[in-house]
A and B are shown apart, each in its own frame.
Chain A
Amino acid sequence: MNYASFKEAVAAAAAEHGISDYELYYMEDQSVSISAFKTEIENFSSSVSGGVCFRCIADGKMGYAATELLDEEQAREIVIRAVENARTIENTDPVFLHNAGDSYREASSYEAPLPTAEQMIPFVLDCQRKAQDADSRVSEGTQSQFFAGRTVVRLSNSNGLDLQNVTGFQCGLVEAVLEENGEKYSGYDYRVGDLAQISRKELVAGAVKRAAGTIGAETISTDRYTVVFDPEVMADLLAIFCPVFSADNVQKGLSLLKGKEGEVIAAPGVTLVDDPLYPGCTVQTSFDAEGVAAYTKNVIENGVLNTLLYNLKTAAKEGKKSTGNAYKGSYASNVSIAPYSFYLKPGELSREEVLSKVGKGVYITEINGGHAGANAVTGDFSLQSAGFLIEDGKLGKPVKNFTVADNFFSLLKKIRWIGKDLSFGIPSGFTVFGAPTVAVEDLSVAGK
């Protein structure tokens, strides 16, 4: 059955079980991707999936149940399961379903249709050709991909709330594999943007340059260095540690920012912005996963922790208002907390100026193992890295096989220079992380 009939069937089942406070959250994802290997298309995939989450208040507690199968039986099942789940919950903090009536800012809806295979084929084949031509060391492991996604969210509840949002993005990605003296070197680059507008030449050049840049890399001496993070790497670090700004984690003792609102937690030049409607961003939203109006805020302002990120439940616990950051990773998830376009505000310096101020240090273009070598509960990280030495204020020899280690909270305080070259990563849901080039003093590097 279609979603409209399923909604009616769920409403009937809820009424039958005496449930009057409930919400339905529907998410439909469409995606396409294509990849080329050597000079041919290797794979095409497309996917359409849609799921519904029903959540309801029973005995003053919230229970959830979700399904992808929209039929009569599941409409009854999810109500029964959600009620049983609510009754199992022991946390007695007040729970809420949001009322209609917020004034929502206008999010620019993502109208671009998904590209067809015919449109994507020339893109990836041309990238493969350009890669071969770019450098004689480019070898057969080189791959080009294009992928695009589109997500529709519909949220409606028994308080009369009825909201819809459409987001999406397109991305081209090239991974260049170079071979020299029997050794393989890889580097990738990507561009988020519409198929027709992405420069294939720049994309390919970026990937080949990154792979070529690692040839001849040596290991660095173990020591403490001033470290300059490439924008993409700094954005990765923000992504790894963003759970520390969740009020839920703070209240549960899983973030060290407990009691730190209003205090200095970072260097004076650091401002961290959360913007649900960042201009040009294709995953904008005007409402969060509970239907609360989303708005722009500085989480850190000039080094001071201005606010944590709240949803309705965590805000009520502290007598505050939600910051509109309720989040669901998939339709089936419980409501948690996450930022939107979450970025470190850019400064005035070009990357070259940052390097010149640093004089001597390490420039990091790649970190790996963030899910293991970093811990948001403790703030500690020790991450496999690669990049370049900085000598006399300029990039020097490539370096690899070393780790950079510190604690995120001490890193925030040791940020010395911030570039103006803000760039964003690949979106996930409504969230995308961004940063400019950032120089941090006195980090521990382990190599030889």
Chain B
Amino acid sequence: MPSILSRDTIRQVLQKAVSTGADFAEVYAEHTKSNSMVMIDGKIDSITDNFLSGVGVRVCKGLKSAYASTSDTTLSGLLSCAENAAQAIANGSADRQINLVERIFGDVHPIKIVPGTVANSVKADIIRTAYAAAREYHENISQVQATLLDVDHNILIANSEGLFTEDRQIRTRLMVNAVASKNGENQSGVQSPGRRMGLEMFDTIDPATVGKEAARQAVTMLSAGYCPAGKMMVAIENGFGGVIFHEACGHSLEATSVAKGRSQFAGKLGTQIANPKVSAVDDGTIPGAWGSINIDDEGHPSQRNLLIENGILKSYLIDRLNGKRMGMASTGSARRQNYTYEPTSRMTNTFILNGPDKNEDIIRSMDYGLYCRQMGGGSVNPVTGRFNFAVTEGYLVRNGQICEPVRGASLIGTGSEILMNIDMVGQNLATGQGMCGSVSGSIPTDVGQPLIRVSSITVGGR
């Protein structure tokens, strides 16, 4: 692949960006092909097919930053974009020579089948397999929507310190939403595995299993009563269950919040913020994982960051600019949805590590409570730490046994309180895939954990 823009063009843009006296300038150029194909009612119903192309120029002076972006990638369009940013940051004059030296970071994500080079019919067959498995699962399945998404994201990052580097990030995701209906009521089940892979993702993930699992969940919930409301003990299953850590803790560890004292965990490094059974990492280096990146969106290599060790806060997630405010180095955590967003610190693959408890002991230990087998998404206010997330498949637990399914539950709490309440941690660590939305847009992230027990949390039901 040729570079998105030449080194010489970028050098001119960077020189323009620092021309008013900025102490740092960065160019982020992007070419992204994205495709989504949707099947509904057994027929391919729609295809979205887009080519995103643009450039973002960031300049910093002290702790201030200015950002300008454009889809006009002609030299004059780029220079005027750089000029906008330069004018907004400072009004001096500077003549700095910038020498860009290309750097190639390793790629730990080999791609066997690049989705954009495969005929539509190949993708349609994958979708059809998932669709059919869901549809045929049960007579109460009234509708199935199956979607295959693929993204080919090419980025180029260069800065006034001489960095010039590129990366290509290919991702694939299958999403199945099954609806079960009976007596004028609908219930839905969703499965959406994704990987930092091409279509070879389906060598290890069977689309039929994905479809069946979504349908099983919808049918199970159709016969479920409403979840009782109030404070109770809960056990949260592995995989997407890790959304509890993502919301209750992860967002509050992002420098985006911490640097400005807008986090409940600001100033808490080295102190105990979670139960001693809890250790957690953010690791963007896992080959093939949905949230992985070779380099972050400032051109810093991704790394494994130990966030919490035996309950003690060890590290935040830090980008360059907020790192400056905090007097700390980048942790390779700068991310953005696309060129229209300025990067900031975000999560990659974030999960609680396996703990000391046997999974069967966790369920057996509960006299009464809720077992959450599948979770939906959630959200948090990092300032107060108040978070929420949805339970899409829950069961009541009585006398150490998983009993009848319940629907409509959500879990709410305050991060600092809930982290201390995670009092049993099991051993079946697995991850689940999500899109995480925050100030720098929507980005792919993995959440994960083994089965955990929370001694007390508010369950919203009715």
Contact = CB atoms under 8 A, between A and B. Distances in A.
A379 B184 CA distance: 12
B88 interface: yes
Interface in A132-173: 139-141, 143
A64 interface: yes
B331 interface: no
Contact of A48 (B46, B71, B187): B71
B48 A64 contact: yes
B461 A85 contact: no
A404 B461 CA distance: 8
A334 B45 CA distance: 10
Interface stretch (A36-44, A123-131, A196-204): A36-44
B43 A90 contact: yes
A373 B48 contact: no
Contacts of A103: none
A40 B44 contact: no
A45 interface: yes
B312 interface: no
B302 interface: no
Interface stretch (A232-240, A291-299, A341-349, A364-372): A364-372
Contacts of A42: 63-65
Contacts of B49: 64-66, 81-82, 85, 332
A377 B71 contact: no
Interface string A41-55: 111111111110000
B179 A68 contact: no
B120 A88 contact: yes
Contacts of B65: 42-44
A320 interface: no
B301 interface: no
A295 to B, nearest CB: 26
Given A252-B40, A373-B410, A384 B51 contact: no
Contact of A369 (B181, B408, B410): B410
Given A332-B48, A378-B185, A447-B458, A177 B390 contact: no
Contacts of A380: 407-408
A88 B47 contact: yes
Contact of B340 (A44, A49, A90, A333): A49
Given A45-B342, A405-B460, A447-B458, A384 B50 contact: no
A405 B462 contact: yes
A372 to B, nearest CB: 4
B117 interface: no
A140 B325 CA distance: 14
B52 interface: yes
A333 B412 CA distance: 34
B71 A50 contact: yes
B388 A383 contact: yes
Given A42-B63, A253-B143, A383-B460, A139 B44 contact: no
B388 A384 contact: yes
B226 to A, nearest CB: 8
Interface in A402-416: 402-406
A400 interface: yes
A378 B184 CA distance: 10
Nearest to B69: A47
Interface stretch (B5-13, B104-112, B200-208, B375-383): B375-383
Given A68-B53, A85-B120, A254-B143, A371 B379 contact: yes
Interface string A289-326: 00000000000000000000000000000000000000
Interface in A61-92: 63-69, 74, 77-78, 81-82, 84-85, 87-92
B123 to A, nearest CB: 8
B305 interface: no
**Residue with the highest number of chain B CB atoms closer than 10 Å, among A49, A219, A446:** A446
A112 interface: no
Contacts of B69: 45-49
Interface in B157-192: 177, 179, 181, 184-188
B458 A332 contact: no
Interface in B27-51: 31, 37, 39-51
Interface string A410-448: 000000000000000000000000000000000011111
Contacts of A47: 68-70, 340
A372 B389 contact: yes
Given A81-B49, A184-B384, A446-B459, A377 B64 contact: no
B361 interface: no
A285 interface: no
Given A43-B342, A373-B390, A401-B413, A368 B379 contact: yes
A256 interface: yes
B412 A403 contact: yes
Contacts of A369: 377-379, 388-390, 410
Interface stretch (B258-266, B269-277, B285-293): B258-266
A386 B386 CA distance: 10
B229 interface: yes
Interface in B372-410: 376-379, 381, 383-384, 386-390, 407-410
A378 B186 contact: yes
B48 A334 contact: yes
A143 B388 CA distance: 24
A401 B458 contact: yes
A334 to B, nearest CB: 5
A382 interface: yes
Contacts of A382: 390, 408-410, 460-462
A420 B41 CA distance: 43
A402 B462 CA distance: 12
The 7 closest A-B pairs by CB, nearest first: A403-B460, A446-B229, A444-B462, A384-B388, A372-B377, A90-B43, A332-B50
Given A43-B64, A405-B462, 16 more contacts: A43-B66, A64-B48, A68-B52, A78-B51, A85-B47, A89-B47, A184-B262, A252-B40, A253-B143, A368-B379, A369-B379, A369-B389, A378-B185, A402-B460, A403-B410, A446-B229
18 contacts: A44-B66, A46-B67, A48-B81, A68-B71, A140-B260, A141-B262, A219-B458, A253-B143, A254-B179, A369-B410, A372-B390, A382-B390, A382-B460, A384-B387, A401-B412, A405-B460, A446-B229, A448-B231
